[in-house]
Structure 1
């Protein structure tokens, strides 16, 4: 930056040199005048010595209030004083004079020639006035140089502002955010390159349009933007925009008013950040959260989650159904208290309350009902492998546990049931091969072998039939219309042929009654019921078979009832009656596999019917097979 400098570099003043400056002033550290030049004395006839410089002069430059340190720091700057008595301007520089004094080296400075007439002149001082006019002209020239310096400074400031403006324009042009500048009325004046790339609209297609209309929002959005602009307030919203090619994208829009020094809006600047990826991620996250929440609520397994502070944060309905707990019991409880609450629902015996597996614990709960639950715990982590909480997983394995128990009992029973006839068959055939027996003995042994082989065959057939029914779900059934009396008569004959040898009381002559059935499968079911009645009742008691009807589900159903007067069943036996491998008699004195009634139930359900059982312990039972009656 150019600075004003005088034409002459003035040396440090000496007494002889000060004679060249008739208007010089020397002051001490308190700015008290100690000496003045003879030119100044001719202007001011009053006594100058001992007075403060501010009493004689108006200090025009420098503008700071004079003190010794300020004066010395301004040695390179022009000093400008106005003589109060005459109004004459004196200009020059300040320099150090000895150690404790400062010298003002001054000459007249003419700002306006009209000022000359204000100077009082005496005839003998005309030459002096001419010299003052010369010095005033020189001082005025220096003043113009000061003004020129100020002009240069203003020009430099303006250049700096223009450079900053170009830099900001370059930055805005390079950003990935769309930038729009509108005038004070809200009409677009400029858009950056990012807006053109994202929207597809050229600057000439949007300049002059209203800012609210350009945002592609609905009428309410456009009206809201217009209202905010009229109120000279900022606006923020997330909007779905449409590009020129028809594609849609989301923007986070900010519109800010720009105010001048008088508080008036001179421009609006709108910045639209593309948030399509963020919106897509949010929608995906929201959709996945909805799916996970639905899965969480609909899952038959129980879930309980704890945050990273170990406080319960959520649970699903399945867990409440398993444990019978109420939501208010679980609200924001710590994890250790939750574990104690679980233990209170389990059996008192700790050895039977929990069974440890490699990755889980099996809990045997007694509340709200007898339930076996597999309990697993996992730590949850985010994508950066940071711990975010704990998940407790509960699965009801009561049925699996019961099935495991029944399978164990079945294997034990099946081994016994298979081993008994096989031992008899093996033993008697070995005797017949190694020893000689008379005809009656041989016949008796062969009868035993035959009876045991029939028993073994029935056990295997029951297992195979049950497996087939489960695998095919009735696909192998050949269901046709049959007279009910033909089905019952055939079942009674097979029951007698099978070696049971027990008379059954039956009296029914309605040969017109028909049902739809698989002939062989229905006979198999009826024979199983008759066989159970025979095995679980004394030989001297009566077994009765009869037919009756009932209305149900707007249809007429026919029931084939088998009544015995045997040992009957308790309520506990009735609860497990149709479970596979379950037997009411666990002594082993009555042969059987525990599959008979289970097989009967499967056959009747495939026929569209059902099985009813009523029993009184110690008095007997009635088993009824229900089938839909065919219309005549």
Structure 2
């Protein structure tokens, strides 16, 4: 009925204005019909004037009973009246006629063409009544003919719009999206079944509520919705709603104003799409992305990714630390450029890939430092199996490679060191079994066998000690506070038992000085150092033991220094000092296994200390064992 927009007050300057509405009614303040249009007179045989409005018409809209106040409030609003005699439905609006009169400007309102055949036309007009309207009967009949044509045209248009309306209503009812329709003031008039199913609220629980309050937003969101509605503008947002049962769900909300032909808002329509699963998936994806990003950033291994076009898209800090490359060198480069950049970091590009594994390449880089890197490439695919890029994985295996090299050298040297005494023992025992020797010769040969067996036993014991220390990393150490003088005195007594009686000078007066140590292991380290000083210095030369102190890492450390005046060591010897089986004397004239200082180094590191060695070739050496000093 929005197509009816009569003036709120009838113009007095146009006396024929009401003639355009043959179904008009004018009532006074008592609701008595003062005048009615020609069309109504024909339908009612001219018996309307002088009767009260409620006696002749039934109010369909609005539903409240007629009174002058309600009619005045209805000015400019649509109304529907049913003529009681004929049953014809009349639609129109209310206008002010005079100060104490109200006019209904009406036209026939046909809901169904079948209703036309049911209209009850009154009996023929009486002669008296006929004389009153005889002058206009012909004109009225012509008007009725025109109105009948207009009526059927309006009905056809109405039927078409009703069909469209039913189709749209069916579509809106069947959609899974929640649909809410509000009036021009933003108050809910209608909700679809999807809204009821998702929210749990019945239509009667939400109709009449303000649209902004219905969205369960915070105060700022509700205020923003109100501002948008007042400004006749649309509103879009993702909101967390609460259902009637207390469960929460996310919606993507769109509120759009609907305008009539005059540009006035007559309704708002709100469509809410349920995006709870989408939000959950986004949250899961975001959480996994965060975990993967943290793993990517914190990983000690290098990662470089390329998109499906082969352009570098990301890299982690470990890769930069590993290769010394700068981010600007990697910006948006292709895979081919990336491979050439890696090869440039190798000393010999032809030998960049020095070892090919089944699924990787081992690269020996010399820039920024000598590094051995295992490089592998994997293709990345999405859940549908489509290629999305490639991942280059880099692992620093420098330490593993070095350990592998040292393991090979150790086995080779261990086999050599073990074979030498075993060969002597085997050869001399075989001679003793197969040939006759004098008693003096037998004694000399047995002494050699005994000496080699002692060497072999010591070598095996040193290997076992070294293996235990490395395997347990101090777990078998029993570290307790001891006076340093007690440890040194015990080590000197143990060493001199098997020595040649050479004096070792030791002068120290601070008997209260204490360190934390495993008593037996520290004595073993001291005896090894004293033994080296004894073996590599000439008889009669002095071996001196003294105590030092120094500040380091905000702690006081005590050093047990053993100084000899033996053969000393060159710089080349110093570089290999702590390697297993390495010996400064290569002639073989000085007994030893080459494991002594390795054991000393491991023992001191487990004690939280270290070993310092200084030497001058041909003049002697000083070996200092450093331990943390205990506070008094």
Shared fold by TM > 0.5?
A: yes
What CA distance in whole angstroms lies between the structure 2 residues aligned with 1:587 and 1:275?
A: 84
Partner of 1:63: none
User: Structure 1 residue 204 and structure 2 residue 223: aligned?
Assistant: no
- Give the Cα separation in 2 of the matches to 1:397 and 1:463: 26
Aligned to 1:294: 294
Q: Compared with structure 1, are the counterparts of its residues 500 and 157 closer, same or farther at alpha carbon in structure 2 (3 Å cutoff)?
A: farther
* Equivalence for 2:224: 224
Q: Give secondary structure in 1 for the equivalent of 2:217.
A: coil
Aligned residue number for residue 311 of structure 2:
311
Alpha-carbon distance in 1 for matches of 2:213, 2:372 = 66
Cα drift, residue 569 of structure 1 = 5.3
| Alpha-carbon distance between aligned partners in 1 of 2:196 and 2:158, rounded to the nearest angstrom | 31
Return the alpha-carbon distance in structure 2 between the equivalents of residues 307 and 498 of structure 1: 72
- The answer for the alignment partner of 2:423 in structure 1 is 423
Contact 1:380/1:389, CA 8 A, preserved across alignment: yes
**Do the aligned residues in 2 keep the contact of 1:304 with 1:392 (CA within 8 Å)?**
yes
Q: Secondary structure at the match of 1:189?
A: strand
Q: 1:553 to 1:304 in 2, by over 3 A?
A: closer
Partner of 1:473: 473
Once the 2 structures are TM-superposed, how far is the Cα of residue 346 of structure 1 from its aligned partner? 0.3
The verdict on how the C-alpha distance between 1:298 and 1:567 changes in structure 2, with shifts beyond 3 A counting, is farther
Match of 1:157 in 2: 157
- 2:353 is equivalent to residue 343 of structure 1: no
How much has 1:229 moved relative to structure 2? 0.6
Deviation at 1:262, TM superposition (A): 0.9
TM superposition shift of 1:410:
0.6
Shift of 1:306: 1.3
Q: Which residue of 2 aligns with 1:279?
A: 279
- More displaced 10-residue stretch of structure 1: 152-161 or 207-216: 152-161
Post-superposition shift, 1:235? 0.7
RMSD over equivalenced CA pairs, Å: 3.1
TM-score (norm 1): 0.71
The answer to whether the 8 A contact 1:417-1:591 is kept is: no
Structure 1 residues 426-466: Cα deviation after superposition (integer angstroms, max 9, x where no partner): 22233333344344333322332222222222222223223
Report if aligned partners of 1:409, 1:581 keep a CA contact under 8 Å in 2. Answer: no
- Alpha-carbon deviation of 1:227? 0.6
Count of equivalent residues:
496
CA contact (8 A) 1:414 1:593 kept: no
**Separation in 1, partners of 2:407, 2:507:** 41
Aligned-pair CA distance for 1:269: 0.7
Distance, in Å, in 2 between the alignment partners of 1:182 and 1:296 is 51
Which residue of structure 1 aligns with residue 261 of structure 2?
261
The 2-side partners of 1:431 and 1:148 are apart by 145
**Residue 310 and residue 213 in structure 1: after superposition, are their counterparts in 2 closer, same or farther (change >3 A)?**
same
Q: Give, in angstroms, the shift of residue 400 of structure 1.
A: 1.0
- Equivalent residue runs for 1:22-33 within 5 Å: none
Residue 181 of structure 1 corresponds to which residue in structure 2?
Answer: 181
Inter-CA distance 364–591: structure 2 relative to 1 (3 Å threshold): farther
| Superposition TM-score, scaled by structure 2 size | 0.71
Q: CA deviation at 1:226?
A: 0.8
Which position in structure 1 is the counterpart of 2:443?
443
2:383 corresponds to which residue? Answer: 383
Rounded to whole Å, the distance in 1 between the matches of 2:308 and 2:466 is 51
Q: Secondary structure at the match of 1:216?
A: coil
Query: Gapped runs of 5+ residues in structure 2?
Result: 1-136
The DSSP-based 3-state class of the residue aligned with 1:515 is: strand
Whole-angstrom CA distance in 2 between matches of 1:207 and 1:615 = 98
Q: Deviations over 1:12-54 (max 9, x none)?
A: xxxxxxxxxxxxxxxxxxxxxxxxxxxxxxxxxxxxxxxxxxx
* CA displacement at 1:225 relative to structure 2: 0.8
**2:243 paired residue number:** 243
Instruction: Tell me the CA shift for residue 594 of structure 1.
Output: 5.3
